[in-house]
Structure 1
């Protein structure tokens, strides 16, 4: 005969099982609006990689790398994407409790865009040109450095600040000779150029010597210390999602659209393909996916310190990362 306590016990067991099936909660922090360049986290959720790792992931919106770092430091998010340069600056200046766990963009996304056959064929050709840039892009921080690399200063060009949405039209209509934008926007600007009957080319600053790590997976230090096993499962699932994006870009783009229906598949796919070049390239072939190679990491810190006016000697580059969650990593 069933006792009166049995149904309650069964209910308690069922609730416990449901909680277990839901997985360990993780809040992922975006560094900007959803799009193809943010595909890995949407793939992780939509394709089931996060669930397979026993994770219940919530995606939080963001408004730039500095905002993402602040939210991670406050503990409102556990792990997420932001430029490692922003992390280095915040950690050096404010001592924020956030650490990079995985490299994503092993090349900086910063570039000039111009019209083909305009005489602006390399970064060095920017001298005397009219250039427009958004007031808020992190590229502005590195502009003096890339100019210095080619023997120029900002005084050698005419720099205009404009809303990000106005940059493309300004270039297409000839109001400026070039714009400052990210390589993740290559498809968008080349599409605008095609509509205007112009061929748009990108001049990556990395090709002019600005070699550094950029977007990285960063985590709240308390999350890493208190739930290291959860963090390890997330990083592994996220890395698998990045690899899926490379081998299945059409499906990856669809995963983004499945979760953010207001986006167009073609736009997402274009941005995703643009992003993949910053993730999979000669650096990846040499060092591996997600790895912070010590020499390149040190060079990144040197560049960030110079760009932000920081005392480079006050910190070592290794202060900003942990290798515990990288392939074969320790420490």
Structure 2
């Protein structure tokens, strides 16, 4: 009778324990700065591999319409954290009080590049003299165009710089309506694929190899979120950083994970994009100062060139005030 009673008690206790809800996950809203793709893979990888869940987080991902859009939504509290070009954040904070802070770097090299068609007379940046270069009117690369061309021994006045719809840039280049285009390195796979369809090959001249030493795409966060939930912010960035590492260790799997969440993203294109932009993430700068970390001198140079490009008094902003190193573990 005693044994039967004990067995009954044990069974009842087990049933009660199994009926208890698991500890609730804390929700974090993550704002993209553009459409999903290979360059946005780390957050999808961290989500699909369970890195967020392991640290007690449920992450909701929202699509974006550019860095300014992402900054605006995060500042308004519609998202807790997200991606943005640090160039846009520093410029915005120089002229306005914005409750958003940079907390982790993603692209520690400038993502811009000149693209030309091989065999058409532009085989180096110096060959752009007296040529036509097309770019989107909205891209932040326009800010640094004068600096890059003069840094490479050219006169800006000697280059015809025209603006065109972003969707028409690659066709313009491939069909000979411009000698070169400026675009992000993240567009490499798309441009190369279109070129190969008509039997062409392209040259790519990244600006990080042409003297533009700046930070770019970064993780930013709402100041109130950082103040009220610092531990959540640290756990989120820990999981995201793990996703970054996994993404470039396993690009094909990472591309497939983006596709699983966003079916319209081609997994092969996503994987190829991840591989094509490896140098933006894993490079001498990130190796020397740690993946995701903002190095003081490079951040200062980033701000110096932004101020120079936009004719802003550099004294209007201390770039150190725009970022925080309190939420990412040192490598």
TM-score normalised per structure 1: 0.91
Shift of 1:153: 4.4
Question: 1:46-195 to 2 correspondence within 5 Å?
Answer: 46-195=48-197
Mapped partners of 1:78, 1:276: distance in 2: 27
> What is the SS of the residue equivalent to 2:225?
helix
- Select the structure of larger CA radius of gyration: 2
> What is the SS of the residue equivalent to 1:105?
coil
Mapped partners of 2:237, 2:104: distance in 1: 8
CA displacement 1:138-194 (0-9 Å, x = unmatched): 111211221232244442211222111111111111111111111111111111111
CA contact (8 A) 1:132 1:179 kept: yes
Mapped partners of 1:117, 1:233: distance in 2: 50
| Alignment coverage as a number of residue pairs | 314
Question: 1:260-299 to 2 correspondence within 5 Å?
Answer: 260-299=262-301
Mapped partners of 2:330, 2:288: distance in 1: 15
Give the aligned CA root-mean-square deviation in angstroms.
1.5
CA contact (8 A) 1:188 1:270 kept: no
Mapped partners of 1:246, 1:123: distance in 2: 29
1:204 aligns with 2:197: no
CA displacement 1:65-105 (0-9 Å, x = unmatched): 11111111111111011000100011111110111111110
Shift of 1:311: 1.4
Unpaired runs of 5+ in structure 2? 1-15
> What is the SS of the residue equivalent to 2:170?
helix
Unpaired runs of 5+ in structure 1? 1-9
Out of 30, 33, 50, the residue aligned to residue 32 of structure 2 is: 30
Shift of 1:301: 0.8
Mapped partners of 2:111, 2:315: distance in 1: 26
CA displacement 1:240-268 (0-9 Å, x = unmatched): 00000011111111110000011111111
> What is the SS of the residue equivalent to 2:138?
coil
Question: 1:193-272 to 2 correspondence within 5 Å?
Answer: 193-272=195-274
Mapped partners of 1:27, 1:308: distance in 2: 32
Mapped partners of 2:281, 2:31: distance in 1: 19
Mapped partners of 1:328, 1:266: distance in 2: 33
CA contact (8 A) 2:150 2:156 kept: no
